[in-house]
Structure 1
Amino acid sequence: MRRKSIVILDGDRTHTYQLQQYLVNAGFDVISLSSVQELNQCLPVLLPDLIIMELKSPEYDGFSLCRQLYQQHRIPLMLMSEPVDEAEWIVALEVGAEAFLVKPFNPRMLLAKVRVLLRRRQPVAVVKASPPDAPRRYRFGSWVLDHVKREIEDRDGKRTPLSGADFQLLKIFLTHANQVLSRDQLYGMTRGRDSTPDDRSLDVHISRLRHRLEDDAKNPSLIKTIRGVGYVLSAHVEPLAL
């Protein structure tokens, strides 16, 4: 079986070398780069399975580079950064990042996230279609979800397409409406694993979904936070005929 290849982009050579050695010992082929110029020279020759890059760098705009890499190559991206505002993580996810790590982080957390991202890219042997009599559209609150087109429609008829992660999370809430779902349950349903204490990606995804649904983050009426437990979609869900 071919070893998965990873490119690490970080100007801190000491940090990059440590990550490289850890991932090599875990069975990956790893190339460490310190500049965007080196990255641009590398990509035409080797399209890696994953790019791990520093978000904040004096040499480049991490958000623009993330968008460029996603649009041109569709390579999974994992970002590293010192603590930043939640809004910045949301932007990073919207422009193409699939995971992030807040420095300092445990190398085992890095390895776990790398394996999860690469596992997502493996082909699925069997894809189960929705039952033929399953409703195509669901009304909840002032919104309608079309799960075939993967878009939501507001009361004025404005339609907004959803990303894969947003669609998956919303569908889970709709099929478990008015049920409190713990963080571990949501991680298990979306990623097939339990949460870890320092993984905040679920909170970022929920924050982004609330934004899509125009749900006030400080006082949400749809996706409510049950402190210390998890989240609940507080709405009546009605299947709609075509």
Structure 2
Amino acid sequence: MNAQTPAHILAVDDDPAIRELLVDYLTEHGLRVTAVESGAEMQRVLQSQLVDLVLLDLRLGREDGMQLARSLREASQVPVIIVTGRMDEADRVMGLELAADDYINKPFSSRELLARIRAVLRRYQLMREAAPAREAERRGYRFDGWELNLRSRRLTAPDGGRVDLSNGEFNLLQALCSAPQRVLSRDQLLDLSRLHGAEVYDRSIDVQILRLRRKIERNPAEPAYICTERGAGYVFSVAVEVLE
């Protein structure tokens, strides 16, 4: 998301009238909106497109919206605003405990919803802008005997040997180390890599992953570090120590 590209909002609601209202109103105010009625459609959009924020109704007709919120948070770092009934205090509390970024009650004011969406997007944008500064304060990362030095841009193996990495491989590994044991989609890896100045592009993420595996995995065919989460992306499945 930047000044030239409108933020992409994914709205999940089983009410066609609400979906139409959201698309019309939010689009009119400079946002790009994809509106779907089910969790399955939500997952398809998340896997195929870059989404800046999910607006999720917890009271879907045939699905447990809370479970969708839980699975979304476990698999992604995308901002989430939950939509609840005005009297559903338990849902609001549980949703916030699941790390939703905000909530809004039905029936809601379109102007209030827009303000809440913009506030969450603005907060995440500030976090993204601050990330390079926070990263600059770190000396590197250590995992399972390996050490990634951010200042010298060197990767040292457990036996002390230096492992040469391309710029793209280094920055992708840096992105993985910055979010260990979390499932990251290709779009999220692309965004994280850009924060670190990488020349990594969407279609080459898989190629970079394969190259990294060949350099750091004992058996690249059965990776222990960079693991594939089918249909979701990749997870760096090892504890990482931050070196200050």
TM-score (structure 2 length as normaliser)? 0.49
Greater helix proportion: 2
